Amino acid sequence: GAQGGWVLTATARSPTNIAVIKYWGKRDETLILPVNDSISVTLDPDHLSATTTVAVSPSFDRDRMWLNGTEISLSGGRFQNCLREIRQRARDVENKEKGIHIRKEDWEKLHVHIASYNNFPTAAGLASSAAGFACLVFTLAKLMNVSEDGAALSSIARQGSGSACRSLYGGFVKWVKGEAANGSDSIAVQLVDESYWNDLVVIIAVVSSRQKETSSTSGMRDSVVTSTLLQHRAEVIVPSRILQMEEAIKNRNFGSFARLTCADSNQFHAVCLDTTPPIFYMNDTSHRVINTVERWSQFEGAPQVAYTFDAGPNAVLIAPSREVASLLLQRLLFFFPPPPDTKLEGYMVGDTSI
Ligand code: 2P0
Q: Which ligand 1 atom minimizes the distance to the CA of 21? A: 3
For ligand 1, atom 9, name the residue with the nearest CA.
Answer: 217
Give the residue-averaged pLDDT of 53-70. Answer: 96
pLDDT tier, 127 (very low <50, low <70, confident <90, very high otherwise) = low
**For position 354, what pLDDT does the model report?**
36
Question: How many residues does the structure list for the chain?
Answer: 354
What are the Cα distances from residue 340, in Å, to 337, 343, 344?
Answer: 9, 9, 10
Q: Tens of pLDDT along 145-197? A: 999 999 999 999 999 999 999 999 999 999 999 999 999 999 999 999 999 99
Rounded Cα distance, 343 and 102, in Å? 53
Rounded Cα distance, 262 and 308, in Å? 6
Rounded Cα distance, 33 and 158, in Å? 8
Contact 207, 289 (CB under 8 A): yes
Distance 337 CA to ligand 1 centre (A): 31
Quote the longest CA-to-CA distance of the chain: 70
3-state SS assignment for residue 335: helix
Rounded Cα distance, 218 and 186, in Å? 21
Ligand 1 binding site (Cβ under 6 Å of any ligand atom): 19, 22-24, 32, 38, 129, 161-163, 216-217, 310-311
Q: Does residue 127 come out as left (phi exceeding 0), alpha (psi in the -120 to 50 range) or beta?
A: left
Q: Tens of pLDDT along 234-285? A: 999 999 999 999 999 999 999 999 999 999 999 999 999 999 999 999 999 9
Distance 48 CA to ligand 1 centre (A): 16
3-state SS assignment for residue 172: strand
Rounded Cα distance, 167 and 133, in Å? 9
Rounded Cα distance, 161 and 181, in Å? 18
pTM of the model: 0.94
**For position 125, what pLDDT does the model report?**
61
pLDDT at 53 over 60: yes
Q: Which ligand 1 atom minimizes the distance to the CA of 133? A: 11
Domains delineated in the chain: 8-192 (3.30.230.10), 201-353 (3.30.70.890)
Give the residue-averaged pLDDT of 336-351. Answer: 60
Q: Which residues contact 36 (CB under 8 A, 6 or more apart)?
A: 23, 24, 25, 177, 233, 234, 238, 239
Around Cβ 129, how many Cβ atoms within 10 Å?
Answer: 20
Contact 352, 209 (CB under 8 A): no
Closest CA to 108 of 71, 53, 66, 56: 56
Q: Tens of pLDDT along 167-178? A: 999 999 999 999
pLDDT tier, 47 (very low <50, low <70, confident <90, very high otherwise) = confident
| Most ligand 1 atoms within 8 A of CB, residue of 136, 161, 167 to mutate | 161
Q: Which ligand 1 atom minimizes the distance to the CA of 38? A: 3
ipTM of the complex: 0.98
Distance 53 CA to ligand 1 centre (A): 24
Q: Which ligand 1 atom minimizes the distance to the CA of 32? A: 12
